[in-house]
Amino acid sequence: MKIGFVGLGIMGKPMSKNLIKAGHELVVCDIVKESVDELVALGAKSVANGASVAAECDVIITMLPNSPHVKAVILGEGGIAQGAKPGTVIIDMSSIDPVASREIGAELAKLDVELLDAPVSGGEPKAIDGTLSVMIGGSKATFDKYYDMLMNMAGSVVYVGELGAGNVAKLANQIVVALNIAAVSEAMTFAAKSGVNPELVYQAIRGGLAGSTVMDAKVPMMLERNFKPGFRVELHLKDLTNALNAAHEVQAAIPLTACAMEAMQSLKAYGLETQDHSALVQYYERISNTEVRK
């Protein structure tokens, strides 16, 4: 299958590599020349902009930082919409505001171009090994048509509902992850401040109801003081901002999300926004005057 791919960043580059490994022909575009060159060396074709990608491909994947970037790449000058033929399908795998997904989809529909919102979860490690979780909103028939192709990058591809539903699912995921990290950070800080070894507390509770994938992924990082980013604080802040905006749009109350966002905002004020989101423990450490470590 000939596929366009716009956005070769931390996630997009390994995802596109997995498509090439699966035997697909790629036409790629990105503002970072080194990333483009890396894909060209693997057999991809490079073009100048989204419009040029659309001129060659009937299906195009976008993987971009946030809503404004997606709007610009799809609807802006030199964007995908300017080169797209009727019947073109755009699969936006960025994590953006579902309101923006619906707005972009409405504009594309005027051109007989279809949009699926298909955000992913799993971070760079799962992008590399091709085991991402993908949540999709849009046409069920189009989802079915491209399911196998998407599985070349994923371990799970789930249809959630109409356009925008994929990003609602992703934001729900990010709410749960943020609150879980916050709860774990609070608990480990409480243990440390009480004079009890937080590593032993972790071992004592991880097998019970409190145990979680987040706990097992993040507590060891906290104990090792390893905040090398798998998913940066600044990206989680972006997701929580989108979650709050989307929740306000439908009058849903998400007060715990607001609390987690303010704690992460404090990390940004500390200059820690490029660290892994497990660095949230440092917010609790500062306000409790203690440190969580082995």
* pTM confidence score: 0.91
CATH topology match: 2-163 vs 169-288: no
Backbone torsions φ then ψ of 8, nearest 5 degrees: -110, 50
| Residue 39: CB atoms within 10 Å | 24
Q: Which of 13, 170, 218, 238 is catalytic?
A: 170
202 has a pLDDT exceeding 90: yes
Domain ranges of the chain: 2-163, 169-288
Cα–Cα distance for residue pair 233/280, rounded to 1 Å: 8
* β-strand partners of 77: none
Strand partners, 59: 89
pLDDT for 159 equals: 98
Q: At the fourth CATH level, which superfamily is domain 2-163?
A: NAD(P)-binding Rossmann-like Domain (3.40.50.720)
Q: What is the pLDDT of residues 118-165, one digit of tens each?
A: 999 988 889 999 999 999 999 999 999 999 999 999 999 999 999 999
> pLDDT at position 17, please?
98
Per residue in 34-84, pLDDT tens? 999 999 999 999 999 999 999 999 999 999 999 999 999 999 999 999 999
The overall average pLDDT reported for the chain is: 97
**CATH code for the domain defined by 169-288:** 1.10.1040.10
User: What is the structure's pLDDT at 292?
Assistant: 98
Which pLDDT belongs to residue 190?
98
In the residue annotation, 33 being an active-site residue is answered as: no
Local confidence band at 245 (pLDDT 50, 70, 90 cut-offs): very high
